[in-house]
């Protein structure tokens, strides 16, 4: 499955033709619609299209514009009238900082993408193949038949180790992956609350949840400082992303600052690991809930490999396995909500958008929309066969976004997700065990609450 990044044809509207977007119902005093985004955010966002293509919401005292159609989310992502900003990114700045590629705009963002892009070129990905293979098969070796797998811990461990070993050339121990796993779970939950209920002074009070959040955030940044300090002390300069950052120059030809290096490493390790780990958890849930699809993956692996361990070089041939990954990302996207900010008075779909307005949209809602997908809630990997994928509207499936904000690690992520899915499905079937809870846990990303599985050898 591929997604073309083609800009929609612009519709020209006269100023007199512009409309004010309708206001969504159900707001309450002080909190507005924020309480719904806390109580049942996925259902709330999925229901907004019934109210219009663009809908006004109240989050506390702020008016926010929600975009609900694939075409307009594509236009929003590709238009220069909107920039990366808004409630999501303001929340994430506490984690990512203001100087990393994820939150930067304009010339700085372009310069930073040029620095990191070589590590994610399509022709660079095979160089990571041996590490991806080693880590994927380490999962299957570490798991013991009949023992309980904590999927949260295991998914973070493999995601962090692949990112660290491929991009930072560090053979970091499991203890660091565990620290990152625990800290990210706390930080991302706290950031989501801060995004939907912007009650700044309350979050500065020394309450137990706030102290827990601050400790987790401090541990994340300490981990990054350890990684950078170790590299500097070693004097080594391997051909990796961290070396590129340590040798990068700013717009004036001077070395970039320590804070920017720190923020860039945070952006490499944390959001990428969080989203990949969340997707691995959902893939394990899919293989458990849909054994018929797990069996088809195992059969495809057998037909491609002839019974040997699956290798990176097999990934391109594992078409059905790739489609299982794509369908899992459609129904359970790790990144379920995104925000932008209008940089000028503008319009979107014939609706007036004032300068400075915050816009939100939900890939979760877009990718489950019955107007875009037949049998929209059914897990159906075959919908990504070439002849059927043509039926999906443009921009109704953009797991890595489009335009100049497209995730640079899309090929890197898809390769490891396909390889991990193939490796575990070829060796095991899975059963949920007592205490497991695969219901969706909503934070800035989506993941199962507490997925506990028992591997059963094939």
Q: Which residue intervals of 235-318 are DSSP H helices? A: 241-246, 258-289, 291-305
| pTM > 0.85: yes or no | yes
Please report the beta strands in 369-451, taking only residues with DSSP state E, as ranges in sequence order. 428-432, 437-442, 446-450
Task: Give me the pLDDT at residue 298, please.
Answer: 98
Place of tokens 């051909």: 239
- Asked if 274 and 440 count as a contact pair (C-beta separation under 8 A), the reply is no
Question: Could you report the per-residue pLDDT of 371-392, keeping only the tens digit for each?
Answer: 999 999 999 999 999 999 999 9
Domain 15-457: CATH superfamily, name plus number: Cytochrome P450 (1.10.630.10)
- CA distance linking residue 403 with residue 432, whole number of Å: 40
What is residue 133's three-state secondary structure? helix
User: How many CB atoms are located within 10 Å of the residue 234 CB?
Assistant: 10
How much is the pLDDT for 1?
46
Backbone conformation region of residue 60, classed left if phi is above 0, alpha if psi is from -120 to 50, else beta: left
What average pLDDT does the segment 29-51 reach?
88
Higher local confidence (pLDDT), 65 or 156: 65
E-strand ranges in 343-436 read: 346-348, 351-353, 358-361, 428-432
Quick one: average pLDDT of 236-263?
86
Please work out, in degrees rounded to the nearest 5, the angle formed at the alpha carbon of residue 251 by the alpha carbons of 247 and 253: 50
The domain limits of the chain are 15-457
Q: When comparing pLDDT for 285 and 92, which is higher? A: 285
Evaluate whether 56 touches 360 at the Cβ level (below 8 Å): no
Is the pLDDT reported for residue 297 higher than 80?
Answer: yes
Q: Is the pLDDT at 58 greater than 50, yes or no? A: yes
Residue 403 CB neighbours (<10 A): 14
Q: Which residue has the higher pLDDT, 239 or 285?
A: 285
pLDDT band at 458 (very low <50, low <70, confident <90, very high): very high
Q: What is the helix, strand, coil percentage profile of the chain, to 5? A: 55, 15, 30
Looking at every residue in the chain, the average pLDDT score rounds to 86
Mean pLDDT of 439-453: 91
Identify the pLDDT of residue 4: 38
Confidence of residue 204 (pLDDT cuts 50, 70, 90): confident
Question: Which CA distances in Å does 143 have to 47, 154, 309, 361?
Answer: 41, 10, 16, 39
């Amino acid at each position: 499955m591929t997604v073309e990044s083609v800009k929609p044809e612009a519709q020209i509207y006269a100023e007199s033709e512009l409309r004010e977007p309708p206001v969504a119902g159900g707001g309450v005093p002080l909190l507005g619609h924020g309480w719904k985004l806390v109580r049942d955010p996925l259902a709330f966002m999925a229901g907004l299209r019934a109210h219009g293509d663009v809908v006004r919401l109240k989050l506390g005292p702020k008016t926010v514009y929600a975009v609900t159609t694939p075409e307009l989310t594509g236009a929003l992502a590709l238009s220069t009238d909107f920039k990366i900003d808004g409630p999501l990114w303001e929340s994430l700045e506490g984690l990512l900082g203001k100087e990393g590629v994820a939150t930067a705009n304009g010339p700085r963002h372009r310069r930073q993408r040029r620095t990191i892009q070589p590590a994610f070129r399509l022709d660079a990905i095979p160089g990571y193949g041996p590490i991806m293979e080693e880590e994927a098969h380490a999962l299957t070796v570490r798991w013991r038949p009949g023992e309980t797998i904590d999927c949260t811990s295991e998914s973070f461990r493999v995601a962090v180790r692949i990112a660290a070993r491929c991009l930072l050339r560090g053979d970091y121990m499991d203890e660091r992956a565990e620290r990152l796993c625990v800290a990210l779970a706390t930080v991302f939950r706290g950031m989501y609350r801060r995004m939907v209920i912007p009650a700044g002074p309350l979050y500065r009070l020394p309450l137990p949840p706030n102290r827990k959040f601050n400790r987790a955030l401090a541990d994340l940044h300490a981990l990054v400082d350890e990684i950078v300090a170790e590299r500097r002390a070693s004097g080594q300069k391997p051909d990796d992303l961290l070396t590129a950052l340590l040798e990068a120059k700013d717009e004036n030809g001077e070395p970039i600052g320590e804070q920017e290096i720190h923020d860039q490493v945070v952006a490499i390790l944390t959001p990428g690991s969080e989203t990949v780990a969340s997707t691995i958890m959902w893939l394990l849930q899919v293989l458990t809930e849909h054994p018929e699809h797990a069996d088809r993956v195992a059969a495809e692996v057998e037909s491609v490999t002839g019974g040997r361990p699956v290798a990176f070089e097999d990934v391109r041939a594992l078409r059905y396995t790739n489609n299982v990954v794509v369908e899992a990302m459609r129904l359970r996207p790790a990144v379920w909500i995104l925000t932008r900010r209008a940089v000028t008075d503008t319009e979107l779909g014939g609706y007036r958008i004032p300068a400075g307005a915050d816009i939100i949209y939900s890939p979760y809602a877009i990718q489950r929309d019955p107007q875009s997908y037949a049998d929209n809630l059914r897990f159906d990997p075959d919908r990504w066969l070439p002849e059927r994928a043509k039926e999906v509207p443009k921009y109704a499936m953009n797991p890595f976004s489009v335009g100049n904000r497209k995730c640079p690690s899309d090929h890197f992520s898809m390769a490891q997700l396909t390889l991990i899915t193939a490796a575990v499905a070829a060796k095991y079937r899975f059963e949920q065990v007592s205490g497991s809870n695969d219901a969706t846990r909503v934070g800035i990303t989506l993941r199962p609450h507490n997925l506990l599985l028992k591997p059963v050898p094939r």
